[in-house]
Amino acid sequence: MASPRSLEALVNQQVRRWELAAGSGASTQVAPSIALSRLPGAAAAELGDEVAVALGFGFFDIEIMDLIARETGTQRELVAGLDEHVRSTIERFVSLGARGRTYNESSYHEQLVRALATLGERGLAVILGRGSAFVLRPERTLRVLVVAPWEERLERLAKRRDLSRAEAARELEHEEAERLAFNRYHFHVNPDDATLYDVVVNTGTLSVGLATELVVAAARRRFGIRG
Protein backbone atom coordinates (compact mmCIF):
# COMPACT_ATOMS: atom_id res chain seq x y z
CA MET A 1 0.00 0.00 0.00
CA ALA A 2 1.23 3.49 -0.81
CA SER A 3 2.54 5.47 2.16
CA PRO A 4 1.64 9.11 2.97
CA ARG A 5 5.17 10.05 1.93
CA SER A 6 4.89 8.38 -1.47
CA LEU A 7 1.46 9.99 -1.95
CA GLU A 8 2.91 13.38 -1.12
CA ALA A 9 5.74 12.84 -3.60
CA LEU A 10 3.31 11.77 -6.34
CA VAL A 11 1.11 14.83 -5.79
CA ASN A 12 4.13 17.15 -5.72
CA GLN A 13 5.33 15.68 -9.00
CA GLN A 14 1.90 16.19 -10.55
CA VAL A 15 1.67 19.80 -9.38
CA ARG A 16 5.13 20.42 -10.81
CA ARG A 17 4.02 18.82 -14.08
CA TRP A 18 1.08 21.26 -14.28
CA GLU A 19 3.33 24.22 -13.45
CA LEU A 20 5.84 23.30 -16.16
CA ALA A 21 3.08 22.83 -18.75
CA ALA A 22 1.56 26.21 -17.89
CA GLY A 23 4.95 27.92 -18.00
CA SER A 24 5.87 26.46 -21.37
CA GLY A 25 2.62 27.46 -23.09
CA ALA A 26 1.80 23.82 -23.80
CA SER A 27 1.14 23.08 -27.45
CA THR A 28 -2.12 21.21 -26.87
CA GLN A 29 -5.42 23.06 -26.85
CA VAL A 30 -6.42 21.22 -23.69
CA ALA A 31 -4.45 19.33 -21.06
CA PRO A 32 -5.94 15.86 -21.62
CA SER A 33 -6.13 12.81 -19.37
CA ILE A 34 -6.40 9.07 -19.94
CA ALA A 35 -9.12 7.17 -18.03
CA LEU A 36 -8.68 3.41 -17.83
CA SER A 37 -11.37 0.91 -16.95
CA ARG A 38 -10.50 -2.76 -16.83
CA LEU A 39 -11.52 -6.31 -16.33
CA PRO A 40 -9.64 -7.55 -13.22
CA GLY A 41 -6.43 -9.28 -14.16
CA ALA A 42 -6.17 -7.61 -17.59
CA ALA A 43 -2.81 -5.94 -16.74
CA ALA A 44 -4.32 -2.44 -16.79
CA ALA A 45 -1.97 -1.17 -14.07
CA GLU A 46 1.07 -2.17 -16.12
CA LEU A 47 -0.49 -0.59 -19.20
CA GLY A 48 -1.36 2.60 -17.35
CA ASP A 49 2.12 2.97 -15.95
CA GLU A 50 3.71 2.54 -19.38
CA VAL A 51 1.26 4.98 -21.02
CA ALA A 52 2.01 7.57 -18.33
CA VAL A 53 5.77 7.23 -18.83
CA ALA A 54 5.43 7.50 -22.62
CA LEU A 55 3.31 10.67 -22.41
CA GLY A 56 5.07 12.24 -19.43
CA PHE A 57 1.84 12.09 -17.38
CA GLY A 58 1.28 11.11 -13.76
CA PHE A 59 -0.18 7.67 -13.06
CA PHE A 60 -2.94 7.33 -10.44
CA ASP A 61 -4.08 3.78 -9.73
CA ILE A 62 -7.08 2.64 -7.69
CA GLU A 63 -5.15 2.60 -4.41
CA ILE A 64 -3.80 6.12 -4.94
CA MET A 65 -7.25 7.49 -5.81
CA ASP A 66 -8.68 5.94 -2.64
CA LEU A 67 -5.95 7.61 -0.58
CA ILE A 68 -6.49 10.99 -2.22
CA ALA A 69 -10.24 10.72 -1.61
CA ARG A 70 -9.55 10.32 2.10
CA GLU A 71 -6.85 13.01 2.42
CA THR A 72 -8.36 16.50 2.43
CA GLY A 73 -4.89 18.01 2.72
CA THR A 74 -3.83 16.29 -0.47
CA GLN A 75 -6.90 17.58 -2.27
CA ARG A 76 -6.06 21.12 -1.20
CA GLU A 77 -2.62 20.69 -2.78
CA LEU A 78 -4.19 19.51 -6.04
CA VAL A 79 -6.44 22.57 -6.37
CA ALA A 80 -3.90 25.14 -5.16
CA GLY A 81 -3.51 27.99 -7.64
CA LEU A 82 -6.66 27.21 -9.63
CA ASP A 83 -8.82 30.12 -10.70
CA GLU A 84 -12.44 30.35 -9.59
CA HIS A 85 -13.81 29.22 -12.95
CA VAL A 86 -12.02 25.86 -12.75
CA ARG A 87 -12.86 25.49 -9.07
CA SER A 88 -16.54 26.07 -9.78
CA THR A 89 -16.42 23.55 -12.65
CA ILE A 90 -15.01 20.94 -10.28
CA GLU A 91 -17.68 21.65 -7.68
CA ARG A 92 -20.39 21.21 -10.30
CA PHE A 93 -19.14 17.67 -10.84
CA VAL A 94 -19.58 17.05 -7.13
CA SER A 95 -22.96 18.72 -6.67
CA LEU A 96 -24.65 17.56 -9.88
CA GLY A 97 -22.86 14.31 -10.65
CA ALA A 98 -20.72 13.52 -13.66
CA ARG A 99 -22.52 14.54 -16.85
CA GLY A 100 -25.90 14.17 -15.17
CA ARG A 101 -25.15 10.82 -13.57
CA THR A 102 -25.80 10.42 -9.86
CA TYR A 103 -23.57 8.85 -7.26
CA ASN A 104 -23.86 8.08 -3.58
CA GLU A 105 -23.48 11.25 -1.52
CA SER A 106 -21.31 9.70 1.18
CA SER A 107 -18.28 11.73 2.19
CA TYR A 108 -15.87 9.28 0.56
CA HIS A 109 -17.57 9.31 -2.83
CA GLU A 110 -18.02 13.06 -2.79
CA GLN A 111 -14.29 13.42 -2.16
CA LEU A 112 -13.49 10.78 -4.78
CA VAL A 113 -15.47 12.57 -7.49
CA ARG A 114 -13.86 15.86 -6.47
CA ALA A 115 -10.38 14.32 -6.78
CA LEU A 116 -11.18 12.74 -10.15
CA ALA A 117 -12.66 15.99 -11.46
CA THR A 118 -9.64 17.96 -10.28
CA LEU A 119 -7.21 15.66 -12.06
CA GLY A 120 -9.42 15.66 -15.15
CA GLU A 121 -9.72 19.43 -15.31
CA ARG A 122 -5.99 19.98 -14.83
CA GLY A 123 -5.03 17.06 -17.06
CA LEU A 124 -1.73 15.29 -17.75
CA ALA A 125 -2.87 12.25 -15.77
CA VAL A 126 -3.54 8.57 -16.40
CA ILE A 127 -6.21 7.38 -13.97
CA LEU A 128 -7.09 3.74 -13.41
CA GLY A 129 -10.60 2.77 -12.35
CA ARG A 130 -12.84 4.31 -9.67
CA GLY A 131 -15.29 5.48 -12.34
CA SER A 132 -12.83 7.90 -13.93
CA ALA A 133 -14.10 7.06 -17.43
CA PHE A 134 -17.60 8.15 -16.35
CA VAL A 135 -16.59 11.26 -14.39
CA LEU A 136 -14.03 12.96 -16.61
CA ARG A 137 -15.26 15.07 -19.50
CA PRO A 138 -15.13 13.00 -22.74
CA GLU A 139 -14.00 15.96 -24.84
CA ARG A 140 -10.72 16.12 -22.92
CA THR A 141 -10.32 12.47 -21.90
CA LEU A 142 -9.30 9.34 -23.79
CA ARG A 143 -11.46 6.62 -22.24
CA VAL A 144 -9.92 3.16 -22.53
CA LEU A 145 -11.31 -0.26 -21.63
CA VAL A 146 -8.66 -2.93 -20.99
CA VAL A 147 -9.83 -6.52 -21.40
CA ALA A 148 -8.44 -10.04 -21.67
CA PRO A 149 -9.96 -13.55 -21.79
CA TRP A 150 -10.91 -15.17 -18.48
CA GLU A 151 -8.21 -17.85 -18.68
CA GLU A 152 -5.52 -15.28 -19.37
CA ARG A 153 -6.62 -13.14 -16.45
CA LEU A 154 -6.91 -16.15 -14.16
CA GLU A 155 -3.37 -17.28 -14.95
CA ARG A 156 -2.02 -13.76 -14.50
CA LEU A 157 -3.72 -13.30 -11.13
CA ALA A 158 -2.62 -16.71 -9.82
CA LYS A 159 1.00 -16.03 -10.76
CA ARG A 160 1.07 -12.48 -9.43
CA ARG A 161 -0.46 -13.38 -6.04
CA ASP A 162 0.96 -16.90 -5.78
CA LEU A 163 -2.50 -18.49 -5.62
CA SER A 164 -3.90 -21.85 -6.63
CA ARG A 165 -6.20 -21.91 -9.63
CA ALA A 166 -9.26 -22.28 -7.38
CA GLU A 167 -8.17 -19.41 -5.12
CA ALA A 168 -7.46 -17.18 -8.10
CA ALA A 169 -10.86 -17.98 -9.62
CA ARG A 170 -12.63 -16.99 -6.40
CA GLU A 171 -10.70 -13.73 -6.16
CA LEU A 172 -11.33 -12.91 -9.81
CA GLU A 173 -15.06 -13.55 -9.44
CA HIS A 174 -15.18 -11.39 -6.31
CA GLU A 175 -13.30 -8.49 -7.93
CA GLU A 176 -15.49 -8.63 -11.03
CA ALA A 177 -18.68 -8.54 -8.96
CA GLU A 178 -17.35 -5.69 -6.82
CA ARG A 179 -16.39 -3.64 -9.88
CA LEU A 180 -19.79 -4.10 -11.51
CA ALA A 181 -21.63 -3.22 -8.30
CA PHE A 182 -19.49 -0.11 -7.68
CA ASN A 183 -20.06 1.37 -11.13
CA ARG A 184 -23.73 0.44 -11.37
CA TYR A 185 -24.51 1.87 -7.94
CA HIS A 186 -22.47 5.06 -8.08
CA PHE A 187 -22.53 5.91 -11.80
CA HIS A 188 -25.53 3.95 -13.15
CA VAL A 189 -23.47 2.33 -15.93
CA ASN A 190 -22.39 -1.11 -17.05
CA PRO A 191 -18.60 -0.65 -17.13
CA ASP A 192 -18.24 -3.44 -19.70
CA ASP A 193 -20.29 -1.56 -22.31
CA ALA A 194 -17.74 -0.88 -25.06
CA THR A 195 -19.75 2.08 -26.40
CA LEU A 196 -18.78 4.07 -23.29
CA TYR A 197 -15.13 4.13 -24.37
CA ASP A 198 -12.98 5.54 -27.16
CA VAL A 199 -10.55 2.61 -27.30
CA VAL A 200 -10.73 -1.04 -26.24
CA VAL A 201 -7.50 -3.06 -26.00
CA ASN A 202 -7.19 -6.80 -25.40
CA THR A 203 -4.03 -7.70 -23.50
CA GLY A 204 -4.74 -11.36 -24.12
CA THR A 205 -3.93 -10.98 -27.82
CA LEU A 206 -1.77 -7.84 -27.65
CA SER A 207 1.31 -7.46 -25.50
CA VAL A 208 1.20 -4.68 -22.91
CA GLY A 209 3.86 -2.92 -24.97
CA LEU A 210 1.79 -2.98 -28.16
CA ALA A 211 -1.37 -1.98 -26.28
CA THR A 212 0.60 0.93 -24.82
CA GLU A 213 1.66 2.04 -28.29
CA LEU A 214 -1.94 2.01 -29.50
CA VAL A 215 -3.25 4.04 -26.55
CA VAL A 216 -0.39 6.54 -26.77
CA ALA A 217 -0.88 6.95 -30.52
CA ALA A 218 -4.61 7.52 -30.05
CA ALA A 219 -3.97 10.15 -27.38
CA ARG A 220 -1.35 11.94 -29.46
CA ARG A 221 -3.53 12.05 -32.57
CA ARG A 222 -6.71 13.06 -30.78
CA PHE A 223 -5.22 15.80 -28.59
CA GLY A 224 -2.23 16.91 -30.64
CA ILE A 225 0.28 15.83 -28.00
CA ARG A 226 3.84 16.21 -29.20
CA GLY A 227 7.04 14.58 -28.07
Residue 99 belongs to domain with CATH number: 3.40.50.300
Q: Is residue 216 part of a domain?
A: no
In a domain, 224, yes or no: no
Look at residues 107, 135, 197, 143 and name the one whose alpha carbon lies nearest to residue 33.
143
**Residue 126 belongs to a domain:** yes
Quote the number of domains for the chain. 1
Percent of the chain with pLDDT over 70: 89
**Euclidean distance between CA atoms 172 and 180, whole angstroms:** 12
The answer to whether residue 112 sits within a structural domain is yes
Question: pLDDT by residue (tens digit) across 58-112?
Answer: 999 998 988 888 887 887 888 887 778 778 777 776 765 544 445 554 678 888 8
- pLDDT category of residue 5 using cuts at 50, 70 and 90: low
- Is 164 inside any structural domain? yes
CA 191 vs CA 39, 47, 78: distances in Å = 9, 18, 27
Q: Which domain holds residue 150?
A: 4-198
Residue 215 within a domain? no
Residue 219: inside a domain:
no
Please name which of 135, 109, 104, 107 lies closest in space to residue 121, comparing C-alpha atoms. 135
Nearest to 101 by CA among 190, 193, 26: 190
- 32 secondary structure, DSSP code: -
